[in-house]
Protein backbone atom coordinates (compact mmCIF):
# COMPACT_ATOMS: atom_id res chain seq x y z
CA UNK A 1 0.00 0.00 0.00
CA UNK A 2 0.88 3.65 -0.21
CA UNK A 3 3.10 5.18 2.47
CA UNK A 4 2.24 8.21 4.55
CA UNK A 5 4.86 9.52 6.94
CA UNK A 6 4.46 11.87 9.87
CA UNK A 7 7.19 13.83 11.57
CA UNK A 8 7.97 14.02 14.37
CA UNK A 9 6.71 10.82 15.97
CA UNK A 10 6.62 12.53 19.32
CA UNK A 11 7.27 16.03 20.59
CA UNK A 12 7.32 17.75 23.96
CA UNK A 13 6.89 21.50 24.05
CA UNK A 14 6.43 24.23 26.59
CA UNK A 15 3.06 25.82 27.14
CA UNK A 16 2.62 28.88 24.96
CA UNK A 17 4.89 27.75 22.16
CA UNK A 18 3.87 26.51 18.72
CA UNK A 19 4.50 23.08 17.26
CA UNK A 20 4.46 22.00 13.63
CA UNK A 21 3.62 18.45 12.56
CA UNK A 22 4.34 17.29 9.03
CA UNK A 23 2.43 14.72 7.01
CA UNK A 24 4.02 13.47 3.80
CA UNK A 25 2.85 11.10 1.13
CA UNK A 26 6.02 9.30 0.07
CA UNK A 27 5.00 7.44 -3.06
CA UNK A 28 1.91 9.19 -4.33
CA UNK A 29 0.51 12.67 -4.75
CA UNK A 30 -2.03 13.46 -2.07
CA UNK A 31 -4.72 15.76 -3.34
CA UNK A 32 -6.54 15.56 -0.02
CA UNK A 33 -5.27 15.10 3.51
CA UNK A 34 -7.20 14.60 6.71
CA UNK A 35 -6.12 15.43 10.24
CA UNK A 36 -7.46 13.45 13.20
CA UNK A 37 -6.97 13.83 16.92
CA UNK A 38 -7.05 11.01 19.42
CA UNK A 39 -7.34 11.54 23.15
CA UNK A 40 -5.97 8.85 25.46
CA UNK A 41 -8.12 5.73 25.42
CA UNK A 42 -10.58 7.35 23.05
CA UNK A 43 -11.35 7.20 19.37
CA UNK A 44 -10.11 9.37 16.56
CA UNK A 45 -11.96 12.57 15.82
CA UNK A 46 -11.67 14.28 12.46
CA UNK A 47 -10.33 17.81 12.87
CA UNK A 48 -10.07 19.08 9.32
CA UNK A 49 -9.82 18.23 5.65
CA UNK A 50 -7.28 19.93 3.45
CA UNK A 51 -7.06 20.01 -0.32
CA UNK A 52 -3.85 20.98 -2.02
CA UNK A 53 -3.72 24.67 -2.75
CA UNK A 54 -6.87 25.65 -0.91
CA UNK A 55 -7.95 26.45 2.64
CA UNK A 56 -8.69 23.63 5.00
CA UNK A 57 -12.23 22.77 6.00
CA UNK A 58 -12.53 22.42 9.75
CA UNK A 59 -14.99 20.28 11.63
CA UNK A 60 -17.38 21.90 14.04
CA UNK A 61 -15.75 22.84 17.30
CA UNK A 62 -12.19 22.87 16.00
CA UNK A 63 -10.47 26.24 16.38
CA UNK A 64 -9.08 27.35 13.04
CA UNK A 65 -6.71 29.88 14.55
CA UNK A 66 -5.28 27.38 16.96
CA UNK A 67 -4.81 24.48 14.56
CA UNK A 68 -3.32 25.92 11.40
CA UNK A 69 -3.30 23.57 8.44
CA UNK A 70 -1.29 24.15 5.31
CA UNK A 71 -1.36 21.90 2.24
CA UNK A 72 1.00 23.75 -0.05
CA UNK A 73 2.15 20.80 -2.14
CA UNK A 74 0.83 17.47 -3.35
CA UNK A 75 3.05 15.57 -0.96
CA UNK A 76 3.04 17.66 2.18
CA UNK A 77 0.52 18.97 4.66
CA UNK A 78 1.39 20.57 7.98
CA UNK A 79 -0.56 21.04 11.17
CA UNK A 80 0.66 23.80 13.47
CA UNK A 81 -0.64 23.88 17.01
CA UNK A 82 -0.29 27.53 18.02
CA UNK A 83 0.16 28.71 21.58
CA UNK A 84 -0.07 25.17 22.81
CA UNK A 85 -1.55 24.37 26.20
CA UNK A 86 -1.54 21.14 28.21
CA UNK A 87 -5.07 20.35 27.04
CA UNK A 88 -3.73 20.18 23.48
CA UNK A 89 -1.67 17.17 24.45
CA UNK A 90 -2.91 14.37 22.26
CA UNK A 91 -2.10 11.93 19.48
CA UNK A 92 -2.48 13.52 16.06
CA UNK A 93 -2.84 11.34 12.96
CA UNK A 94 -3.07 12.31 9.32
CA UNK A 95 -4.39 10.38 6.38
CA UNK A 96 -3.82 11.12 2.73
CA UNK A 97 -5.75 10.39 -0.43
CA UNK A 98 -4.29 10.56 -3.90
CA UNK A 99 -6.13 11.08 -7.12
CA UNK A 100 -9.87 11.53 -7.31
CA UNK A 101 -12.75 10.55 -5.03
CA UNK A 102 -12.42 6.89 -5.94
CA UNK A 103 -9.03 6.41 -4.37
CA UNK A 104 -8.33 5.18 -0.86
CA UNK A 105 -6.88 7.17 2.02
CA UNK A 106 -3.87 5.90 3.96
CA UNK A 107 -2.88 6.76 7.52
CA UNK A 108 0.37 8.04 8.91
CA UNK A 109 1.90 6.60 12.06
CA UNK A 110 0.82 9.53 14.21
CA UNK A 111 2.49 12.19 16.35
CA UNK A 112 2.23 12.27 20.11
CA UNK A 113 2.24 15.84 21.40
CA UNK A 114 2.86 16.57 25.06
CA UNK A 115 2.59 20.14 26.26
CA UNK A 116 4.19 20.84 29.63
CA UNK B 1 -25.74 11.67 11.49
CA UNK B 2 -23.42 8.73 11.17
CA UNK B 3 -22.13 6.90 14.19
CA UNK B 4 -20.31 3.74 15.16
CA UNK B 5 -20.70 1.81 18.38
CA UNK B 6 -18.23 -0.69 19.70
CA UNK B 7 -19.91 -2.08 22.82
CA UNK B 8 -16.84 -3.82 24.21
CA UNK B 9 -14.17 -1.52 25.59
CA UNK B 10 -11.82 -4.30 26.58
CA UNK B 11 -11.69 -8.00 25.70
CA UNK B 12 -9.29 -10.65 26.94
CA UNK B 13 -8.87 -13.97 25.14
CA UNK B 14 -6.45 -16.82 25.42
CA UNK B 15 -4.01 -17.44 22.61
CA UNK B 16 -5.51 -19.90 20.17
CA UNK B 17 -9.07 -19.05 21.10
CA UNK B 18 -11.52 -17.52 18.68
CA UNK B 19 -12.33 -13.82 18.68
CA UNK B 20 -15.30 -11.68 17.77
CA UNK B 21 -15.31 -7.90 18.11
CA UNK B 22 -18.64 -6.20 17.77
CA UNK B 23 -19.45 -3.13 15.72
CA UNK B 24 -22.79 -1.47 15.08
CA UNK B 25 -23.22 1.51 12.81
CA UNK B 26 -25.69 4.18 11.84
CA UNK B 27 -25.32 5.69 8.39
CA UNK B 28 -27.77 7.48 6.15
CA UNK B 29 -26.50 6.17 2.85
CA UNK B 30 -24.82 3.01 1.66
CA UNK B 31 -22.31 2.26 4.39
CA UNK B 32 -18.70 1.70 3.63
CA UNK B 33 -17.22 -0.07 6.61
CA UNK B 34 -13.67 -0.52 7.80
CA UNK B 35 -11.73 -2.22 10.55
CA UNK B 36 -8.39 -0.82 11.61
CA UNK B 37 -5.82 -2.03 14.12
CA UNK B 38 -3.59 0.26 16.16
CA UNK B 39 -0.60 -0.88 18.15
CA UNK B 40 0.47 1.33 21.08
CA UNK B 41 1.81 4.67 19.90
CA UNK B 42 1.35 3.74 16.27
CA UNK B 43 -0.89 4.80 13.43
CA UNK B 44 -3.69 2.78 11.95
CA UNK B 45 -3.41 -0.25 9.76
CA UNK B 46 -6.34 -1.28 7.62
CA UNK B 47 -7.43 -4.86 8.33
CA UNK B 48 -10.33 -5.05 5.91
CA UNK B 49 -13.12 -3.09 4.33
CA UNK B 50 -16.60 -3.66 2.98
CA UNK B 51 -18.03 -1.77 0.06
CA UNK B 52 -20.52 -4.10 -1.59
CA UNK B 53 -21.01 -7.64 -2.78
CA UNK B 54 -20.19 -10.65 -0.61
CA UNK B 55 -21.09 -9.81 2.95
CA UNK B 56 -18.23 -11.88 4.36
CA UNK B 57 -15.01 -9.99 3.87
CA UNK B 58 -11.55 -11.44 4.25
CA UNK B 59 -8.72 -9.26 5.49
CA UNK B 60 -5.10 -9.42 6.46
CA UNK B 61 -3.65 -11.38 9.36
CA UNK B 62 -6.42 -13.98 9.19
CA UNK B 63 -9.23 -11.59 10.11
CA UNK B 64 -12.67 -11.58 8.55
CA UNK B 65 -15.80 -9.53 9.06
CA UNK B 66 -19.43 -10.05 8.19
CA UNK B 67 -21.76 -7.26 7.13
CA UNK B 68 -25.33 -7.73 8.30
CA UNK B 69 -27.53 -4.96 7.01
CA UNK B 70 -30.58 -6.07 8.99
CA UNK B 71 -28.62 -5.75 12.22
CA UNK B 72 -26.52 -2.75 11.16
CA UNK B 73 -23.50 -4.70 12.25
CA UNK B 74 -20.01 -5.39 10.95
CA UNK B 75 -18.39 -7.74 13.45
CA UNK B 76 -14.75 -8.70 13.19
CA UNK B 77 -13.71 -12.32 13.73
CA UNK B 78 -10.63 -14.45 13.87
CA UNK B 79 -10.67 -18.23 14.38
CA UNK B 80 -7.45 -18.45 16.38
CA UNK B 81 -5.88 -15.45 18.08
CA UNK B 82 -2.12 -14.98 18.32
CA UNK B 83 -0.34 -13.04 21.07
CA UNK B 84 0.74 -10.49 18.45
CA UNK B 85 -2.90 -9.60 17.84
CA UNK B 86 -3.01 -7.68 21.12
CA UNK B 87 -3.83 -4.11 20.12
CA UNK B 88 -6.64 -1.58 19.82
CA UNK B 89 -9.23 -2.26 17.14
CA UNK B 90 -11.37 0.42 15.56
CA UNK B 91 -14.44 0.05 13.43
CA UNK B 92 -15.23 2.96 11.12
CA UNK B 93 -17.84 4.05 8.62
CA UNK B 94 -17.56 6.62 5.91
CA UNK B 95 -17.03 7.25 2.27
CA UNK B 96 -15.74 4.63 -0.09
CA UNK B 97 -12.36 6.34 -0.12
CA UNK B 98 -11.88 5.96 3.64
CA UNK B 99 -11.85 9.70 3.94
CA UNK B 100 -13.69 11.62 6.66
CA UNK B 101 -14.22 8.46 8.63
CA UNK B 102 -16.35 8.20 11.74
CA UNK B 103 -14.69 5.88 14.20
CA UNK B 104 -16.00 3.84 17.06
CA UNK B 105 -14.42 4.19 20.47
CA UNK B 106 -12.29 1.13 19.96
CA UNK B 107 -11.89 -2.25 21.61
CA UNK B 108 -8.68 -3.10 23.36
CA UNK B 109 -7.73 -6.73 22.88
CA UNK B 110 -5.55 -8.46 25.40
CA UNK B 111 -4.21 -11.93 24.66
CA UNK B 112 -3.15 -14.23 27.46
CA UNK B 113 -0.66 -17.00 26.91
Find the residue in A nearest to B108 (Cα).
Answer: A41
Where residue B15 falls among pLDDT bands split at 50, 70, 90? Answer: very high
A residues 86-115 near B, CB within 8 Å?
91, 93, 95, 97, 101-110, 112
Residues of B in contact with A93 (CB under 8 A): 43-44
CB-based burial label for A20 (10 Å; 0-12, 13-18, 19+): middle
Res A102: pLDDT: 54
Res B57: pLDDT: 95
Q: Are residues A81 and A65 in contact, defined by beta-carbon separation less than 8 angstroms?
A: no
**Residue pLDDT tens, chain A, 116 long:** 678 999 999 999 999 999 999 999 998 888 899 999 988 777 889 999 998 888 899 999 999 999 999 998 999 999 999 999 999 999 999 999 886 555 678 899 999 999 99
Where residue B17 falls among pLDDT bands split at 50, 70, 90? Answer: very high
Cα distances (Å, whole numbers) of residue B106 to A42, A89, B22, B85, B88:
7, 20, 10, 14, 6
pLDDT of B112 strictly over 70: yes
pLDDT of B86 strictly over 80: yes
Q: What residues pair up with B65 in beta bridges, in sequence order?
A: B57, B76
Contact B101 A110 (CB under 8 A): no
Contact B96 A102 (CB under 8 A): yes
- The candidate with the shortest Cα–Cα distance to A32, out of B98, B110, B63, B111, is B98
Residues of B in contact with A110 (CB under 8 A): 41-43
Amino acid sequence: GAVVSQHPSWVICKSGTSVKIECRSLDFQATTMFWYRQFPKQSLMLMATSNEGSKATYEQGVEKDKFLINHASLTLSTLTVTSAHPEDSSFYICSARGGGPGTEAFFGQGTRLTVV
Amino acid sequence: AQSVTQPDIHITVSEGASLELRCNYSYGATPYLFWYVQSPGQGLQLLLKYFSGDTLVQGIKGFEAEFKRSQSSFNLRKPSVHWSDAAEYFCAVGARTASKLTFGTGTRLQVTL
